[in-house]
Amino acid sequence: MYKKDQQKGLNAQTKDFLKTIETVGADQLTDLRKVLVYHEWRYYVLNEPLVSDYEYDSLYKQLEKIEQDNPGLITPDSPTQRVSNDLTSDFSSVPHLTPMLSLGNSYNLEDLSDFDTQIRKMGKVPEDEKIDYHVELKFDGGSIALVYENDLLVRGATRGNGVKGEEITSNTKTIPSIPLKAQFSKHKIHKAEIRGEVLIRKDVFKQLNEQRQKEGLTLFANPRNSAAGGLRMKDPKDASKRKLVAFVYQMGFAQDKDGKNLLPGLKTHRTTLELMANLGFKVGEDLSKVCKGIKEVFSFCKKWEEKRESYPYEIDGMVIKVNSLALQEKCGFTAHHPRWAIAFKFKAKQASSTLLDVEYQVGKVGSITPVAKIEPVSLAGVTISSISLHNEEFITSKDLKIGDQVLVERAGDVIPYIVKSLSDSRDGSEMPIEFPTNCPSCQTALVKSEGEAAWRCPNYDCEAQVLQRMIHHVSKDAMDIDGFGRSYVERFQALGWLKNLPDIYRLDYAAIEDLEGFGAKSAQKLRSSIETAKKNPIKRLLYSLVIHHLGKKVSTILAKNVDHVLDLQNWTIEDYTHLKDVGPVVAQNMVDFFANADHVEMLKEMEGLGVNLSQTEDDRPKVISQDAPLVGKSILFTGSLQTMGRKEAQEKAAGAGARNVSAVSGKLDILVVGEKAGSKLKKARALGSVQIMTEEEFNALFN
Ligand code: IVH
């Protein structure tokens, strides 16, 4: 039932309506439908939802329940009588071979038990017999339907309104996990439709947004939107940049040459998945399970709910399907969903809250990040009270005000994210957010370079920046001072021991030893980590200095090309840009950095304290001999390797001249297979052109 406390943040129309819902008559039903249609339009058409998915589902279920109890009141235009729509006029529309339906939703064991009872009734399954359910991940991306004819991918389409979809063949062809050719004919299949979901890995999504932020572009709300949007890019090249991945979960249609339906030849849903996996599709069959009875289904769903965050893709629930295709047939479909399947939705990751205040953080290069302080809300088991607002443009584009009700979403490790402000709930007391003009730490006037989204504090000596810089300096990617993390830096700074980078190398270990929580042993350990770090190659030192735009890659390039860090004092912009991959912006920043006498002094001070400033063996380029065993070859590792880790294997291959690639394609030369190799091996075999090597054979190349 719809609870009062879930009404916070609903628009006035929904709130008013909910007051009248208790007494059900035809008028209230019409209103309920109107509210649902309105929210569908906000979500699908405007992409600006006003309520969370959970709230929408509660309303939808309410309508469904009333209609079930009063079938005479069902109208053909009720939201329960159609599948959702993502059609626009930009693409031509194509009919699906069979309709792409939606799924009913469940949220708890009770809902699942009701589903089980219904299946028993429809299939006349005795009480004491446990039904086999196939329980799989409910991928949260954009749905696709792929048509294969004569083994070739001939069409890709979005789900559209379920009956017709948008024709996006060129875009689907850019997705490496979708085979352009698959051996359907081996199974006598002449024409087939494969259904699935297109996703973006959470870490790729994060990088994509980081890049967009750097370029001052609007950020994607979540991986789902960027995947679904990627499918509908006008230029397939742009689609391919999103690094989309397709998981398939259903064979909607399979016919032989004479037009005979071949699906009845298969006994279970599981076998259709195995068939698709064998054909080279990414199925995720190893992530799903055939469960005996509904209790086992529930515990498998809960298990996945607990580990959903650690899974690299977004999943918003599980899908439970009757495994036996004969029993599926007995259950049939409603106009909206198959009766033999149901979604189990995980706890909501969206909720509404109040925007209380905005604080401003100073980053290591001085970028000012606004951070929203919100009334704490619990999202999928985590309490959220602070959310990054990225930059000033984000605040403006979302029209945020202090005191606003905001819709908050949490997707994987990527977000919390403010989806939007619920401006309909404003009462006039909301206050505008005033972006500061001066640094909140050192009061220097903020600057914004052309083409950058963030305001920056230009003062290299700003205390807040120095703190962040020291934290970066000791971190794993920079000087990698083992055991020296943020908390030590903050503590030592508060004690007045750390004012700038050189202080890290003149710490008083006797004083550290006497600190609470330390002792001789840990002080000694810290000392030895710092001593080790002093000998680091200069590529690490350069990266640790936090020079704007100087990343790891360019630090490595510069380190290869300079004998001593202080020689960079004499470099001109052209000396830098002469090097491949070094652009004019970072070149200017380097020149400015070394033109500043304080910076040179700081480096000399560090050198005096024993920090290495001279090129080391590790900085010098490794020359790969033309006789190395894998020169010019592209290589991929699959399955679990027994004698070394994946990274180690890749480094070994690179050292022997190979180029590591991430997917099987016609361009792949060698596939090294470890244990339990799956679809990559199948695909490579199908291609025929790839040399398949065991781990032992790979190792033998080095003997
Ligand atoms: S089965 C006829 N299985 O969830 C069967 N759907 O409302 C209907 N989805 O957007 C779909 N993972 O694309 C099915 N393992 C899975 C799924 C899945 C994600 C999506 C589907 C659609 C929505 C269903």
Indicate if 123 and 71 belong to the same structural domain. no
Task: Extract the tokens encoding 658.
Answer: 């190979």
pLDDT of residue 216: 67
pLDDT tier at 673, thresholds 50, 70, 90: very high
Confidence of residue 412 (pLDDT cuts 50, 70, 90): low
Contact of 242 with 227, CB cutoff 8 Å:
yes
Do 659 and 672 reside in the same domain of the chain?
Answer: yes
pLDDT at 76: 67
pLDDT at 247 over 50: yes
Q: How far apart are CA 700 and CA 694, in angstroms?
A: 10
Q: Please give the distance, rounded to the nearest whole angstrom, from the Cα atom of residue 233 to the centre of ligand 1.
A: 22
Tokens of 537: 């190659």
For residue 180, which of 677, 689, 637, 683 has the smallest C-alpha distance? 683
Does residue 103 belong to any structural domain of this protein? no
Which stretches does DSSP call E strand in 231-367?
245-255, 289-292, 315-322, 341-345, 350-362
C-beta neighbour count of 17 within 10 angstroms:
17
**Domain co-membership, 139 together with 57:** no
Please name which of 208, 225, 221, 229 lies closest in space to residue 416, comparing C-alpha atoms: 221
Q: For residue 252, which atom of ligand 1 is closest to its CA?
A: 2
Give the percent of the chain with pLDDT over 70: 92
Dihedral sign, Cα of residue 325, residue 330, residue 336, residue 342: negative
Q: For ligand 1, is residue 136 a contact (CB within 6 Å)? A: yes
Q: How close is the Cα of 168 to the center of ligand 1, in Å?
A: 19
CB 695 near ligand 1, within 6 Å? no
Q: Quick one: tokens of 371?
A: 């951070």
CA of 34 to the centre of ligand 1 (A): 26
CA 373 – CA 525 distance, rounded (Å):
38
Which residue has better confidence, 382 or 615? 615
**What is the rounded average pLDDT for all residues in the chain?**
87
CA–centroid distance, residue 149 to ligand 1 (Å): 23
Q: Give the residue, by CA position, lying nearest to ligand 1 atom 9.
A: 138
How distant is the alpha carbon of residue 360 from its chain centre? 26
> SS in 3 state form for 376-387?
EEEECCEEEEEE
Has residue 449 been placed in a domain?
Answer: no
Q: How confident is the model at residue 623 (pLDDT cuts 50, 70, 90)?
A: confident
Give the Å distance between the CA of 340 and the centre of ligand 1.
Answer: 13
Mean pLDDT of 493-506: 96
Residue 424 has pLDDT above 60, yes or no: yes
- Residues contacting residue 508 through CB under 8 Å, at least 6 positions apart: 497
Q: Is the pTM of this model over 0.85?
A: no
Average pLDDT over every residue of 654-666? 86
Between the CA of 102 and the centroid of ligand 1 the distance, in Å, is: 7
Ligand 1 atom closest to Cα of residue 136: 15
The closest of 539, 526, 568, 524 to 479, measured between CA atoms, is 539
Residue nearest to atom 12 of ligand 1 (CA): 138
Which residue type is seen at 127? E
Q: Do 192 and 219 belong to one domain? A: yes
Out of 394, 424, 454, a domain closes at: 424
Residue-level pLDDT at 31: 82
Q: How many whole angstroms separate alpha carbon 331 and alpha carbon 344? A: 19
Task: Say yes or no: 233 and 180 in one domain.
Answer: yes
pLDDT attached to residue 13: 46
Higher pLDDT, 597 or 224: 597
Atom of ligand 1 nearest to the CA of 284: 15
| Cβ atoms within 10 Å of 319's Cβ, excluding its own | 21
pLDDT at 679 over 80: yes
Task: Answer with the one of 345, 368, 401 that is the final residue of a domain.
Answer: 345
Could you say which of 297, 322, 345 is where a domain stops? 345
Would you state the pLDDT for residue 242?
87
Mutate-to-test residue for ligand 1 from 197, 272, 308, 346, highest number of ligand atoms within 8 A of CB: 197
pLDDT band at 45 (very low <50, low <70, confident <90, very high): very low
pLDDT at 280 over 50: yes
pLDDT confidence of residue 177: 86
In angstroms, the CA 276 to CA 283 distance is 7
Q: Which residues pair with 315 in a beta bridge?
A: 139
Instruction: Name the closest-CA residue to atom 6, ligand 1.
Output: 138
Find the domain containing 673 and state its range: 634-700
Asked if 153 contacts 184 with a C-beta cutoff of 8 angstroms, the reply is: no
Four-residue CA torsion sign, 560, 563, 568, 570: negative
Same domain, 412 and 337: no
Alpha helices in 191-348 (DSSP H): 202-214, 223-231, 236-241, 269-278, 294-307, 325-331
Question: Does the Cβ of 250 fall within 6 Å of ligand 1?
Answer: yes
Any atom of ligand 1 within 6 Å of the Cβ of 133? no
Q: How confident is the model at residue 3 (pLDDT cuts 50, 70, 90)?
A: very low
Question: Is the CB of residue 197 below 6 angstroms from any atom belonging to ligand 1?
Answer: yes
Dist. CA 687–CA 681, nearest whole Å? 10
Q: What tokens does 427 get?
A: 């009462």
Kindly provide the b/e burial profile for residues 169-197, where b requires at least 16 CB atoms within 10 angstroms of the residue's own CB.
bebbebbbbbbbebebeebebbbbbbbbb
Q: Which amino acid is at 95?
A: P
Pocket of ligand 1 contains residue 318 by CB under 6 Å: no
pLDDT over 80 (residue 573): yes
pLDDT band (50, 70, 90) for residue 174: confident
Q: What is the mean pLDDT of residues 233-261?
A: 88
User: How many angstroms separate the CA atoms of 168 and 236, rounded?
Assistant: 9
What share of the chain in percent tops pLDDT 90?
A: 57
| Selection from 397, 398, 374, 396 nearest residue 386 by Cα | 374
- pLDDT, mean of residues 52-80: 79
Contact 300, 289 (CB under 8 A): yes
Which residue's alpha carbon is nearest to atom 13 within ligand 1? 143
CB atoms within 10 A of CB 534: 17
Contacts of 684 (CB under 8 A, 6+ apart): 664, 668, 671, 690, 692
Q: Which residue has the higher pLDDT, 252 or 300?
A: 300
CB 372 within 8 A of CB 387: yes
CATH number at residue 276: 3.30.470.30
**Ligand 1 in reach of 140 Cβ (< 6 A):** no
CA atoms within 13 A on the CB side of 256: 10
Task: Examine the domain organization and report whether 361 and 250 are in the same domain.
Answer: no
Regarding the beta carbon of 139 and ligand 1, being less than 6 Å apart is answered yes
Cβ atoms within 10 Å of 160's Cβ, excluding its own:
24
Cα–Cα distance for residue pair 432/424, rounded to 1 Å: 16
Total domains in the chain come to: 5
Output the CA 443–ligand 1 centroid distance in Å: 53
- The arithmetic mean of pLDDT across residues 211-238, rounded, is 81
Q: What is the mean pLDDT of residues 417-435?
A: 91
Region 692-699: mean pLDDT is: 94
204 and 311 part of one domain: yes
- Three-state SS for 486-536 is HHHHHHHHHCCCCCCHHHHHHCCHHHHHCCCCCCHHHHHHHHHHHHHHHCC
- pLDDT of 77 reads 67
Where residue 189 falls among pLDDT bands split at 50, 70, 90? very high
Statement: residue 25 has pLDDT above 80:
no
> Does 623 fall in a domain?
no
What's phi and psi for 196, nearest 5 deg?
-165, -165
Written as six digits, the tokens of 436 are 């500061």
Reported as half-sphere exposure (CB side, CA atoms, 13 A), residue 622 has a value of 9
User: Residue 586 and residue 2: Cα distance in Å, rounded?
Assistant: 56
**Together in a domain, 589 and 471:** yes
Angle subtended by helix axes 294-307 and 109-123, to nearest 10: 140
Please name the residues in contact with 597: beta carbons below 8 A apart, sequence gap of 6 or more: none
**Residue 5, pLDDT above cutoff 50:** no
Nearest CA to ligand 1 atom 21: 143
Q: Has residue 675 been placed in a domain? A: yes
pLDDT digits (tens, 9 = 90+) for 137-164: 999 999 999 999 999 999 999 998 888 9
Asked whether the predicted pLDDT for residue 1 surpasses 50, the reply is no
446 located within any domain = no
CB 355 within 8 A of CB 404: yes
Name the closest-CA residue to atom 17, ligand 1.
138
Q: CA-CA distance, 405 to 422, in Å (whole number)?
A: 5
Where does the pLDDT of residue 87 fall: very low under 50, low under 70, confident under 90, or very high at 90 and above?
very low
Report the C-alpha gap between 492 and 507 in whole angstroms: 9
Nearest CA to ligand 1 atom 7: 102
536 Cα to the center of ligand 1, angstroms: 51
**8 A C-beta contact, residue 224 and residue 197:** no
Q: Per the domain annotation, does 491 fall within a domain?
A: yes
Residue in 360, 363, 379, 455 with CA at minimum distance from that of residue 419: 379
Q: Which atom of ligand 1 is nearest to the CA of 338?
A: 2
Residue 103 CA, ligand 1 centroid: distance in Å: 7
Ligand 1 centre distance from Cα of residue 138 (Å): 6
Mean pLDDT of 530-541: 97
Number of Cβ atoms within 10 Å of the Cβ of 305: 18
Are 94 and 164 in contact, with CB atoms under 8 Å apart? Answer: yes
Residue 138 catalytic? yes
Dihedral sign of CA atoms 104, 109, 112, 113 in order: negative
344 lines ligand 1 (CB under 6 A): no
Nearest CA to ligand 1 atom 4: 138
Probe target for ligand 1 pocket from 139, 276, 289, with the most ligand atoms within 8 Å of CB = 139
Q: Is the CB of 338 under 6 A from ligand 1?
A: yes
249 touches ligand 1 (CB under 6 Å): yes
Q: What would the two tokens of residue 442 be?
A: 């050192």
Instruction: Give the type of residue at 503.
Output: D
CATH number, domain with residue 75: 1.10.287.610
Residue 671: give its domain's CATH number: 3.40.50.10190
> Is there a domain that residue 284 lies in?
yes
One domain, residues 318 and 354: no
pLDDT at 583 over 60: yes
Asked whether 102 lines ligand 1 (CB < 6 A), one says yes
> Does pLDDT of 82 surpass 50?
no
Same domain, 30 and 140: no
Residue 94 counted as domain residue:
no
Res 200 pLDDT > 70: yes
Q: What is the pLDDT of residue 525?
A: 95
- CB 81 within 8 Å of CB 333: no
Catalytic residue, from 15, 19, 138, 257: name it: 138
* 122 CA → ligand 1 middle, Å: 22
Are 469 and 539 in a shared domain? yes
Q: Quick one: which atom of ligand 1 is closest to the CA of 100?
A: 2
